[in-house]
Structure 1
Amino acid sequence: MTDTNTTRSPSDTKGIDIRQALDILSARGDHAGPLRDGPQCGCCEKPPNFASLGQTIQLVDSDNNEHSKTADLQEMEDLKKKVSEERAKRRNEMEEKLGSLNKEELIKCFFEAQEQRVQTYRLYDQGLDRILETGQIHEYPSLCTETTATFSVLSDSINNIRKVLLEKLEQTSVAELITQLQDKERTKLNLTAALHLERIRIHNQQASDDRITKLLMEGAASLRAQMRENIEEINEIMDELRCSLMDE
């Protein structure tokens, strides 16, 4: 790939955003055909307890009595601020450490982080499998929180590697490929979360209306097809990165 004078900044790929996953699910086609019974058919209903989930890690239990709500809210804000400050400090320390590495060492760190990201997806899927097998659906938000924390660290690492490659080593083409990869990883994460929610819906509907279950199964199949295409695009970018490094 030919170097350019400018490169796009990477999009935020730090963690699971359930709201975006729900947006994917709500983007189904209009209700029509013999299987669809209108807006109340249930296939577009948002699963319970997911409205407030996102990339923000829940720091305190929200189930408190009225008397302590104000104090708890202030404590939560204080903790959020502390976490934000610690994360900024970690990012600066990481950038300083990465800044001392040469190109080969940075690329090695990048591939290691990407491999860890693949492993995190595997653990995320296995976690949902276990939850569905045991029926402990209430554990899914906790799984999302743990997965988000891991993705946050990996995304920060990759973004910092990209920054050093671009600003210090002037590896514009490599930095651009990493930016493209981060964009595709964001899409993959949203599709994965959407598929998880669809699988939870299927699990909850299995003893209910077969028509709704069929619609949900079709939705899950569509998401899997989108994910296969997305993974192919990610693999193509990774191949481009390897080829670019071999050509130099």
Structure 2
Amino acid sequence: MPDVFLNFRTGDGDQLAAHLDSVLTQRFGRNIVFRDSKSIRPSTRFPQELIRNVRRSRVLLALIGPNWAASALLHDPADWVRREIEEAATCEIPILPVLNGKGTALPRRDQLPTSLAHLTERQYLSYTTRTSETDLDRIAAELLELIPELNVPKEPPSAPGGPGTNNSVSGGIHGTVIQTGPVGGDVGGAIGGTVIRENTGPVHTGRGDIHHSAPHFHGSHGTYVARDSYGGPYVNGENHGGIGNTYNEPPRADEPREDGDGDERR
């Protein structure tokens, strides 16, 4: 259901309507703005759609440009710009005039049909290209006051890669400790060597052989490596050699990845 209905006249406010539609959609999400040329599907009978969506909206933005009040169409009871505003007033939906362009003033009562005279008594906002960023912020802030539900926090983007691994190494360390990938945990105790985090490949900082991706290392002092109940490695006893592990590294760019599957009536 659209929350914001954009009321405008082609040639006077249609460019601002398209801009507001884009900005408000980006800020608050899809389907919260009704703009007839975008929101009404082809072949649909537009009179019923216009009235239905005015009644369902939470606020109507009446976009008033420099030639808005001078249009003879405004005095035609069949004019859709007029009918939309009249319908919103009948349904007691808030109507917010937005004056489009430098020097545009709120219409005078004698310029309007009797059914639209209430517009002269409504507080309005302005929009100009020179102060567009500030003006758009004010319009968005006013909409939040009228429709607090628009201020729903968006979920933060998920971190790349799979779930991290919790790994803690404690005790006396006399060698090298390497942690790669998104690893939670800490390295504690007296460290008499080097701590390396976030490396992207095998690391060898001491003597002896290193068997990459193998469960055992062979170096000086015979280091023993096994897996604990959480799937992470641990060291049984003091370590006098080197430990290297790789956890959930994201694929490189060169490795394959497995992915899932204008309206003439106004």
TM-score (norm 2): 0.20
Q: Max radius of gyration: which structure?
A: 2
Higher relative contact order (CA 8 A, sep 6+): 1
Greater helix fraction, Structure 1 or Structure 2: 1
TM-score (norm 1): 0.21
